Amino acid sequence: MSRPPKCRRVEFLPELTYFKPAGVPMKDLAEVILSVEELEAIRLKDLMGLEQEECAVNMNVSRPTYHRILSAARAKVADALVNGKAIRVEGGNFQLAVRRYRCTGCGNEWEAPCKRGRNLGEIACPSCSCAEVRRINHDGTLFNCSRWRDGIEQGSCKE
Ligand SMILES: [Zn+2]
Protein backbone atom coordinates (compact mmCIF):
# COMPACT_ATOMS: atom_id res chain seq x y z
CA MET A 1 0.00 0.00 0.00
CA SER A 2 1.36 3.42 -0.90
CA ARG A 3 1.69 6.05 1.77
CA PRO A 4 -0.90 8.83 1.74
CA PRO A 5 0.46 12.06 0.23
CA LYS A 6 1.77 14.66 2.64
CA CYS A 7 -0.73 17.28 3.79
CA ARG A 8 -0.42 20.58 1.98
CA ARG A 9 -0.44 23.71 4.09
CA VAL A 10 -3.31 26.03 3.19
CA GLU A 11 -3.94 29.51 4.62
CA PHE A 12 -7.21 30.25 2.90
CA LEU A 13 -10.56 28.49 3.04
CA PRO A 14 -13.02 29.98 0.53
CA GLU A 15 -16.47 31.04 1.72
CA LEU A 16 -17.86 30.73 -1.79
CA THR A 17 -17.28 27.27 -3.19
CA TYR A 18 -19.50 27.11 -6.26
CA PHE A 19 -19.16 29.18 -9.43
CA LYS A 20 -21.49 28.74 -12.39
CA PRO A 21 -21.90 30.41 -15.76
CA ALA A 22 -24.97 32.64 -15.94
CA GLY A 23 -27.94 31.47 -18.02
CA VAL A 24 -27.18 27.75 -18.06
CA PRO A 25 -29.66 25.48 -16.28
CA MET A 26 -28.03 23.35 -13.57
CA LYS A 27 -29.10 20.12 -15.30
CA ASP A 28 -27.14 21.06 -18.45
CA LEU A 29 -24.09 22.12 -16.54
CA ALA A 30 -20.84 20.18 -16.41
CA GLU A 31 -18.56 20.98 -13.51
CA VAL A 32 -14.92 20.76 -12.62
CA ILE A 33 -13.82 20.03 -9.07
CA LEU A 34 -11.03 22.25 -7.80
CA SER A 35 -9.45 21.04 -4.56
CA VAL A 36 -8.79 23.48 -1.74
CA GLU A 37 -5.02 23.18 -2.20
CA GLU A 38 -5.36 23.81 -5.95
CA LEU A 39 -7.21 27.04 -5.19
CA GLU A 40 -4.49 27.95 -2.67
CA ALA A 41 -1.81 27.33 -5.34
CA ILE A 42 -3.55 29.79 -7.71
CA ARG A 43 -4.12 32.30 -4.92
CA LEU A 44 -0.46 32.40 -3.89
CA LYS A 45 0.98 32.63 -7.39
CA ASP A 46 -1.59 34.47 -9.46
CA LEU A 47 -3.26 36.68 -6.85
CA MET A 48 -0.56 37.33 -4.25
CA GLY A 49 2.19 37.28 -6.90
CA LEU A 50 4.64 35.17 -4.88
CA GLU A 51 7.59 33.46 -6.53
CA GLN A 52 7.13 29.75 -7.15
CA GLU A 53 9.78 28.93 -4.55
CA GLU A 54 7.91 30.99 -1.91
CA CYS A 55 4.64 29.32 -2.85
CA ALA A 56 6.16 25.88 -2.39
CA VAL A 57 7.54 26.82 1.04
CA ASN A 58 4.21 28.35 1.97
CA MET A 59 2.34 25.16 1.15
CA ASN A 60 5.04 22.95 2.66
CA VAL A 61 5.65 20.99 -0.55
CA SER A 62 8.60 20.58 -2.92
CA ARG A 63 8.87 22.89 -5.88
CA PRO A 64 8.01 20.18 -8.45
CA THR A 65 4.96 19.19 -6.39
CA TYR A 66 3.86 22.81 -6.18
CA HIS A 67 4.29 23.18 -9.93
CA ARG A 68 2.15 20.08 -10.49
CA ILE A 69 -0.64 21.39 -8.23
CA LEU A 70 -0.58 24.82 -9.90
CA SER A 71 -0.65 23.37 -13.43
CA ALA A 72 -3.59 21.11 -12.59
CA ALA A 73 -5.44 24.05 -11.02
CA ARG A 74 -4.88 26.35 -14.00
CA ALA A 75 -5.96 23.64 -16.46
CA LYS A 76 -9.24 23.17 -14.55
CA VAL A 77 -9.99 26.90 -14.41
CA ALA A 78 -9.21 27.21 -18.14
CA ASP A 79 -11.47 24.24 -18.91
CA ALA A 80 -14.31 25.86 -16.95
CA LEU A 81 -13.91 29.30 -18.58
CA VAL A 82 -13.45 28.06 -22.15
CA ASN A 83 -16.01 25.27 -22.08
CA GLY A 84 -18.60 26.99 -19.86
CA LYS A 85 -18.41 24.62 -16.91
CA ALA A 86 -19.14 25.30 -13.27
CA ILE A 87 -16.35 25.18 -10.70
CA ARG A 88 -16.85 23.45 -7.38
CA VAL A 89 -14.17 23.94 -4.73
CA GLU A 90 -14.15 20.83 -2.63
CA GLY A 91 -11.97 18.43 -0.73
CA GLY A 92 -8.30 17.78 -1.18
CA ASN A 93 -5.45 16.89 1.07
CA PHE A 94 -4.58 19.87 3.20
CA GLN A 95 -4.17 21.26 6.65
CA LEU A 96 -5.46 24.72 7.53
CA ALA A 97 -2.66 26.91 8.82
CA VAL A 98 -3.11 28.91 11.99
CA ARG A 99 -1.33 32.09 12.92
CA ARG A 100 -0.15 32.95 16.39
CA TYR A 101 -0.59 36.42 17.83
CA ARG A 102 0.43 38.36 20.91
CA CYS A 103 -1.27 41.41 22.41
CA THR A 104 1.32 44.06 23.24
CA GLY A 105 -1.11 45.53 25.78
CA CYS A 106 -1.79 42.59 28.13
CA GLY A 107 0.66 39.98 26.79
CA ASN A 108 -2.09 37.49 25.92
CA GLU A 109 -1.14 34.99 23.16
CA TRP A 110 -3.56 33.06 20.97
CA GLU A 111 -3.93 31.22 17.67
CA ALA A 112 -6.44 31.84 14.90
CA PRO A 113 -6.90 30.44 11.41
CA CYS A 114 -5.91 32.75 8.59
CA LYS A 115 -9.08 34.21 7.16
CA ARG A 116 -9.94 35.91 3.94
CA GLY A 117 -9.56 39.68 3.98
CA ARG A 118 -8.52 39.81 7.60
CA ASN A 119 -5.68 42.24 8.01
CA LEU A 120 -3.70 42.62 11.16
CA GLY A 121 -5.37 45.99 11.85
CA GLU A 122 -8.73 44.25 12.13
CA ILE A 123 -7.60 41.79 14.78
CA ALA A 124 -8.22 42.65 18.40
CA CYS A 125 -7.00 40.86 21.52
CA PRO A 126 -9.72 38.43 22.65
CA SER A 127 -8.82 39.16 26.26
CA CYS A 128 -8.57 42.98 26.47
CA SER A 129 -9.89 44.04 23.01
CA CYS A 130 -6.68 46.01 22.43
CA ALA A 131 -5.74 46.30 18.74
CA GLU A 132 -1.98 46.49 19.34
CA VAL A 133 -1.41 42.97 18.08
CA ARG A 134 1.75 41.37 16.69
CA ARG A 135 2.06 38.12 14.77
CA ILE A 136 4.56 35.81 16.45
CA ASN A 137 6.27 32.48 15.79
CA HIS A 138 5.56 29.43 17.89
CA ASP A 139 8.71 30.15 19.94
CA GLY A 140 7.35 33.61 20.81
CA THR A 141 9.66 35.66 18.60
CA LEU A 142 8.18 38.26 16.24
CA PHE A 143 7.21 36.89 12.84
CA ASN A 144 9.36 38.03 9.91
CA CYS A 145 9.17 37.22 6.19
CA SER A 146 9.00 39.18 2.95
CA ARG A 147 5.48 40.37 3.86
CA TRP A 148 5.81 40.74 7.63
CA ARG A 149 8.32 42.84 9.55
CA ASP A 150 8.64 42.39 13.31
CA GLY A 151 5.14 40.93 13.53
CA ILE A 152 3.46 43.68 11.50
CA GLU A 153 2.06 43.00 8.04
CA GLN A 154 3.53 45.28 5.39
CA GLY A 155 0.73 46.61 3.20
CA SER A 156 -2.69 45.08 3.28
CA CYS A 157 -4.20 41.91 1.95
CA LYS A 158 -5.78 42.32 -1.48
CA GLU A 159 -8.30 39.49 -1.20
ZN1 LIG B 1 -4.72 42.09 25.36
| Spacing, Cα 92 to ligand 1 middle (Å) | 36
| Spacing, Cα 119 to ligand 1 middle (Å) | 17
| Spacing, Cα 146 to ligand 1 middle (Å) | 26
Out of 95, 123, 144, pick the residue that ends a domain. Answer: 95
Range of the domain at 32: 8-95
Out of 58, 75, 95, pick the residue that ends a domain. Answer: 95
Give a yes or no: residue 113 inside a domain: yes
| Spacing, Cα 151 to ligand 1 middle (Å) | 15
Examine the domain organization and report whether 16 and 40 are in the same domain: yes
pTM, 2 dp: 0.70
User: Comparing 93 with 119, which gets the higher pLDDT?
Assistant: 93
Examine the domain organization and report whether 25 and 88 are in the same domain: yes
Out of 95, 122, 142, pick the residue that ends a domain. Answer: 95
Examine the domain organization and report whether 17 and 83 are in the same domain: yes
Give a yes or no: residue 65 inside a domain: yes
Examine the domain organization and report whether 67 and 78 are in the same domain: yes
What is the reported pLDDT for 158?
Answer: 45
Out of 68-77, 96-105, 109-118, 133-142, pick the least confident: 109-118
pLDDT tens, residue by residue, 82-103: 999 999 999 999 988 888 999 9
Give a yes or no: residue 2 inside a domain: no
Helix (H) or strand (E) holding 19: strand 18-19
Give a yes or no: residue 133 inside a domain: yes
| Spacing, Cα 154 to ligand 1 middle (Å) | 22
**CATH number, residue 85:** 1.10.10
| Spacing, Cα 112 to ligand 1 middle (Å) | 15
- What are all long-range contacts of 129-133, with beta carbons under 8 Å and residues at least 24 apart? 130/103, 130/104, 130/105, 130/106, 132/103, 132/104, 132/105, 133/101, 133/102, 133/103, 133/104
Domain count for the chain: 2
| Spacing, Cα 11 to ligand 1 middle (Å) | 24
Examine the domain organization and report whether 73 and 130 are in the same domain: no
| Spacing, Cα 102 to ligand 1 middle (Å) | 8
What is the reported pLDDT for 113?
Answer: 77
Examine the domain organization and report whether 18 and 85 are in the same domain: yes
| Spacing, Cα 153 to ligand 1 middle (Å) | 19
